[in-house]
Structure 1
Amino acid sequence: MTVPSAILNVVRLRIVDVRLSNGLGRRHMEEEIKRGVLTVIHWIVVVFIVQILVFGIGRVTLFAFSGGRFGKDDWTAAHQNWTYFTGFAVIALMWTLIALYNNGLLW
């Protein structure tokens, strides 16, 4: 290792040390931790809404329309996409009906 490269390495270490002592590195770490925690919370909320709310509404709706036969065979596990679609469709239909009613376009 030559002398200029050794001096350059010491200067680089000093710059990193000054950045960390000024809080620049610490602030970056805190932002990354916050972003990670918020990502986990966002994922939990989205999974809760989709898994519980949409799937549950779809399943209850299909159960009501099938006369109580839905969910008693392997069709439920094999066609989960239809259950999700039905849940989204019921939510969209209810949202549309409420919007039409509130604007005086319905009844």
Structure 2
Amino acid sequence: MLCPGRGGAAGAEAAALRLGTTVAQTAADIWLGGRRRQQERHLSLPELVRLRVPGLRLQRSAERQFGQITDAVCDTFARADLSDEDVLAADADPAELIRRTPARCPPRWG
């Protein structure tokens, strides 16, 4: 028996349609999610920012921040002046190089 004021058969159909849409969307997201992440791994940083950061102002801010980070890393490694021996002594392990670099490179002020 349908209850008046609760949408009746039309309300039940609408609820079933919403539920079906949600289930189908979730299944598609799970199925395609791995592919999407795999495809995103091949995108450049500016492409990822445009895809993941909403709005032009926030996108530009994110790009500036990544640019500043890149400059800081490049400056640090340039000032550290790592030789081939330094790289080989750390077994070319990035984590070990990171640990050793600040000790060789005092912070730059200003």
User: TM-score over 0.5 for the alignment?
Assistant: no
Structure with the greater alpha carbon radius of gyration: 1
TM-score by length of 1: 0.36
Larger helix proportion of the pair: 1
TM-score by length of 2: 0.35
